[in-house]
């Protein structure tokens, strides 16, 4: 029943986020209101055809309603030197989007470890940390971790031609947060971008202080002009 309950939670969250009532969903898929309620509570098992009908009615991909029981993998370093990522299974990142003047928050899940690389999934720009997997953009890729540098290389799940990467210098240093350089391809408008990304092992309060940290500063511009490069120190 756990699977049915988790799927039911996703259906209820998606329906409510779209301001759709139980009656409206029930009418759309030709079921009773009480049946939809039982689906959302996990009291009855949903057959696959009905689940496809619900996904279509909610205008989401069926994968967004499925439940995955997936254990995350902790990052282990090969050095006795304290590392920013040591022991983390999940971490967070923040960038500031000057086009709409708002913080874009991200969650990184560490999925597995193979061939000296950690497989990761990044969820970008979501409404709720509780449901971060329902996000605007999802990237899948890998992390290579060294004593002096961490590289994260990713591909957009919805657009394979869109690549993104993050580079974190001196990740061996133990600290609450860590700066990195995030590069990728923006779709609004279509253009390559590079910007500051702040990494954290805990969720940060999104306030004016954080906005000021994420904005490109006068010192960033001075270094850019001097090096003729955008670099994050």
Tens digit of each residue's pLDDT (9 = 90 or more) over 6-60: 899 889 988 888 899 999 999 999 999 999 999 999 999 999 999 999 999 998 7
pLDDT above 60 for 80: no
Q: Which of 83, 62, 219, 210 shows the shortest CA–CA distance to 149? A: 83
pTM for the model: 0.75
pLDDT tens sequence across 136-190:
888 889 999 876 789 999 988 777 778 899 999 877 777 889 999 999 887 777 7
d(CA 121, CA 108): 6
Residue 107 binned pLDDT confidence (cut-offs 50, 70, 90): very high
The b-or-e profile of 124-147 (16+ CB within 10 A means b, else e) is bebeeeebbebbebbbebbbebee
**Structure tokens that stand for 145 in this block:** 């971790």
Q: Which residues, in sequence order, are bridge partners of residue 164? A: 154
82: region left, alpha or beta (phi > 0 left; psi from -120 to 50 alpha): beta
Say what the pLDDT of residue 72 is: 86
pLDDT above 70 for 70: no
- C-alpha distances in angstroms, 70 versus 64, 111, 114, 202? 15, 8, 16, 21
pLDDT above 70 for 135: yes
Note whether 135 and 160 are within 8 A (CB). Answer: no
């Amino acid at each position: 029943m756990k699977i049915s309950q988790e799927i039911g939670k996703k259906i209820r969250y998606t329906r409510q986020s779209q301001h759709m009532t139980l009656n409206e969903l029930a009418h759309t898929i030709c079921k009773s209101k009480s049946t939809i309620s039982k689906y959302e509570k996990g009291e009855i098992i949903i057959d696959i055809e009905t689940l496809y009908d619900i996904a279509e009615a909610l205008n989401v991909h069926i994968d967004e309603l499925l439940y995955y029981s997936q254990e995350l993998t902790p990052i282990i370093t090969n050095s006795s030197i304290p590392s920013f990522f040591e022991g983390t299974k999940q971490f967070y990142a923040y960038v500031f989007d000057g086009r709409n003047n708002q913080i874009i928050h991200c969650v990184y899940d560490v999925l597995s470890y193979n061939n000296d690389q950690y497989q990761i999934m990044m969820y970008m720009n979501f409404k709720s940390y509780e449901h971060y997997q329902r996000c605007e953009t999802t990237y899948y890729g890998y992390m290579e971790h060294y004593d002096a540098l961490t590289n994260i290389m990713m591909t957009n799940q919805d657009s394979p031609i869109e690549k993104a990467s993050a580079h974190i210098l001196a990740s061996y240093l133990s600290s609450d947060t860590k700066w990195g350089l995030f590069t990728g391809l923006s779709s609004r408008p279509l253009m390559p971008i590079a910007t500051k990304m702040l990494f954290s092992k805990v969720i940060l309060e999104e306030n004016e202080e954080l906005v000021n940290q994420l904005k490109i500063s006068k010192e960033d511009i001075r270094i850019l002009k001097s090096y003729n490069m955008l670099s994050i120190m």
